[in-house]
Amino acid sequence: MTLATATNEHLANISNTLIYSAMAVYTLAFFAYIAEWLFGSRSKVARTANALTTEAGRKAAGPAVTVKKAGGTAVLERPKVVTRAVAGARDVPDGPGAHGGDEQGDLYGRIAISLTALAFLVELGGVVARAVSVERAPWGNMYEFNITFSTVAVGVYLTLLALKKNVRWLGLFLTTTVLLDLGLAVTVLYTASDQLVPALHSYWLYIHVSTAIVCGAFFYVGAVGTILYLFKDSYENKLASGGKPGTFATSVLERLPSSASLDKFSYRVNAAVFPLWTFTIIAGAIWAESAWGRYWGWDPKETWAFITWVAYACYLHARSTAGWKGRKAAYIALIAFGCWLFNYYGVNIFVGGKHSYAGV
């Protein structure tokens, strides 16, 4: 065994250790987010948020919400009122967040964000160590793609928080998914460090695969927002029709942003990343011509990448078409994300093709 080989194996072991360490920290963050939601469920602020009516929302000098804290009171600003995307619907305020205005809930939420940032740095270190150990970009197989994808997804979340966007509600869902993703990576998809086949030794690997990972991370964030929009929209419709949602649904959904805010968030994320997905497909075609002598051959991976593009194009078109806004467009968005997931997992595992030689 040469010194270089021994060094690469040592770096690969370091990478594995860092990935497992990141999973441990993500687990702590997961429990901190759970604590935030639990403490927030007892807060009267959350229950008060949806009690604000449209008429009260129009009054600039409307009453503020007060809560008792450590022997005194604290005044919280009334949630911002936004207009739902569906024509003719009432105005609905954004929820106060997972913490529900509870002091301890907010503390656990901030702890969870700190742990998420720490786990992100540890996982990023694991990805970098893997790249150094294989002396190439760490995107040569599904294991490497998984650990990089989850890192980028968390990076998107933390970046949105740094930009002061109201996305803290995403934390619990994100850490849950990341833990599942990393658990699948280290148990089922793990592949030892190895070099790529000659066809993949190209600078297009850095361009095509990196943009695919970034697109997937944003599509994931948009999909979570879309799913929560559907739940929140059903909740608001039930309230508007005089129904009474269950206690658990009320406790959770009333603390989320309004359905209009969730719908707008998902649309902006998907619309912003769609041009990059278009570039990803074009870059892949250029790389295919360099590697296989043709730009497009309807390989399963190419086919499903195109299907995904068409699905998201339909979603963006539906958003601007009368009668297709709201829930109908949201269903198309989820179908589009399902196409992206199948393009990655389904095609790689169950369908053969030219992309299969990269290995699982």
- Residue range 128-160, pLDDT digits in tens: 999 888 888 888 788 988 999 999 999 999 999
Residue pair 197/292 in contact by the 8 Å Cβ criterion: no
User: What percent of the chain clears pLDDT 70, i.e. is strictly above it?
Assistant: 80
**DSSP-derived pairing of the beta strands 91-93 and 65-69:** unpaired
Least confident segment among 14-28, 68-82, 203-217, 297-311: 68-82
Q: Per-residue pLDDT tens for 97-132?
A: 888 888 888 999 999 999 999 999 999 999 999 988
Give the tokens for residue 351.
Answer: 């369908």
Secondary structure, 3-state, 113-126: HHHHHHHHHHHHHH
pLDDT tens readout for residues 250-294: 888 888 899 999 999 999 999 999 999 999 999 999 988 887 788
Backbone angles phi, psi at 7, to 5 degrees: -65, -45
- Per-residue pLDDT at 211 exceeds 50: yes
pLDDT for 294: 82
Q: How far apart are CA 358 and CA 145, in angstroms?
A: 11
pLDDT at 61: 36
pLDDT > 90 fraction of the chain, expressed in percent and rounded: 45
Q: Mean pLDDT, to the nearest integer, of 296-325?
A: 88
The stretch 212-216 carries a mean pLDDT of: 93
- Going by the DSSP 8-state scheme, the letter that residue 136 receives in this structure is S
pLDDT at 24 over 90: yes
Please give the backbone phi and psi of residue 127, each rounded to the nearest 5 degrees, phi first.
-65, -45
Q: What is the DSSP string of 138-205?
A: S-SSHHHHHHHHHHHHHHHHHHHHHTT-S-GGGHHHHHHHHHHHHHHHHHTS-----PPPGGG-STHI
Classify each residue of 7-36 as buried b or exposed e, where b means 16 or more C-beta atoms within 10 Å of its C-beta: ebeebbebbbebbebbbebbebbbebbbbb
With 90 as the cut, is the pLDDT of residue 331 above it?
Answer: yes
At residue 65 the predicted structure's pLDDT band, cuts being 50, 70 and 90, is very low
pTM for this predicted structure:
0.82
